[in-house]
Amino acid sequence: MDLSVVILNYNVRYFLELCLHSVKAATASIDAEIIVVDNNSADDSCNMVKQLFPEVILIENKENLGFSKGNNQGVAIAKGDYVCILNPDTVVSEDVFFKLLEFSKTKENLGIVGCKLIDGSGMFLPESKRNIPVVKVALQKIRGNSANYYANHVQENEVAKVEILVGAFMFMKRTVYNQLKGFDEDYFMYGEDIDLSYKAIKAGFNNYYVGTTAMIHYKGESTLKDTNYAKRFYGAMQIFYKKHFKSNIVFDVFVWLGINLAYLFRKNPNKVKKVSKNMYAFSNMKAQFLSEKLNKKVLVINSISDINDQSTVVFDPSSMRYKEIVSNMIYLSKKKDISFRILMNNSNFIIGSDSSNNRGEVITF
């Protein structure tokens, strides 16, 4: 078997459904398996997987084991030569796995491979490629200065070696994952991807960013929404420095003080509120369906060139490939106040997000 896709899920039933549809399309011509590890979701996630995706291997945990342990569970039963760690709030292009499999076969000492991520508004997510967050760089980042945190020397459509990749999408040989002992389970949530990327570099592997294929990550880079999140995030950073950069007591005090001060003086991100005057769909049937369900006029268009500013565009994967949806989102993101939603065929919901600062949104009918 060529590939095992491992998806860790927790209470994002609708995003998981969309994600699984896109992964099925992307693995249609590949000898692959899909493994969903559910961390005791309270929603209908597990029933949905059993009913709509009976071929998916489902692990149902009785408690929330966290990101590291949950993903390690999935990889432990994987059979693929390669594994892909994938977030459930993502939509992958049909060519992403094929391209990365072909790319990986050409590289020696291959570590972890990532791809281009965009948020729900079509904007590039800079956390797709990052530098090692040495103390100075990390403290700059958590004070709001990201210039040295992201790998800005690599262009977003480029293919190049990078140091740190994002946990929403991490592709690698299963033997490499096991050699690195997977995600460090001292981390419950956040920081695990930095740790695994850094362990790969220390072990002599080369990590790569492949910007020639793209996918959607609705949540984008996690934001400081509440006290519990902030404590976990900065706690994860303290674990990382203790494991990899600890030198002496003065150094430890400096790191502890800097991280805790950054937590106290953190800034909450502004939520994006876009003005939408029109809603567009690409078929009469979808436009009529949405008009009835949303109680608003939905216009039919044949070309993205017909779309104006301050509009919501509803994509339909049954009539447009995921790769084309991603490309259209990137192209249209240059317009003012453009929002995107995806409506699955025979579904009772639409999904979208207006920025990486906002959690993805679901409207059910």
Give the pLDDT score at 263: 60
Predicted local distance difference test score (pLDDT) of residue 166:
95
When pLDDT is averaged across residues 261-282 and rounded to a whole number, the result is: 73
For residue 180, is pLDDT > 80?
yes
CA distance 148 to 150: 6
Q: For residues 129-148, b (16+ Cβ closer than 10 Å) or e, as one string?
A: bbbbbeeebbbbbbeeebeb
DSSP letter string, 200-269: HHHTT-EEEEEEEEEEEESS-S----SHHHHHHHHHHHHHHHHHHT---HHHHHHHHHHHHHHHHT--PP
pLDDT: is 232 or 51 the higher one? 51
Instruction: State the pLDDT at residue 258.
Output: 60
Record the tokens describing residue 196, joined without a space: 């695994």
Can you tell me the distance from the alpha carbon of 260 to that of 262, in angstroms, rounded to the nearest whole number? 5
| Domain range annotation of the chain | 3-217, 227-264, 278-364
> Is residue 112 within 8 Å of residue 197, measured between CB atoms?
yes
pLDDT reported for residue 222:
40
Beta carbons within 8 Å of 355's beta carbon, 6+ residues apart = 119, 120, 121, 123, 220, 271, 272
- Asked if 255 and 240 touch (Cβ cutoff 8 Å), the reply is no
Closest of 303, 164, 176, 178 to residue 240, by C-alpha: 164
Report pLDDT digits (tens) over 202-260: 999 999 999 999 999 997 544 445 555 556 666 777 777 777 776 656 556 666 666 66
Q: Which amino acid type is present at position 129?
A: K
Average pLDDT over residues 95-108: 96
Average pLDDT over residues 18-45: 97
Q: What is the pLDDT of residue 223?
A: 42
Q: What is the pLDDT, as a whole number, of residue 264?
A: 65
Q: Residues 134-157: pLDDT tens digits?
A: 777 766 766 667 788 899 999 999
Does 337 have pLDDT greater than 70?
yes
Q: What is the pLDDT of residues 285-316, one digit of tens each?
A: 889 999 998 888 999 998 888 899 999 999 99
Mean pLDDT over residues 270-274, rounded? 68
* Position 195 pLDDT exceeds 70: yes
CATH superfamily of 3-217: Spore Coat Polysaccharide Biosynthesis Protein SpsA; Chain A (3.90.550.10)
Average pLDDT over all residues of the chain: 88
Q: Which pLDDT band holds residue 361 (cuts at 50, 70, 90)? A: confident
123 vs 243: which has the higher pLDDT? 123
Is residue 61 within 8 Å of residue 10, measured between CB atoms? no
What is the H or E stretch that residue 361 is in? strand 361-364
Angle (nearest 5°) at CA 224 between 219 and 225: 80
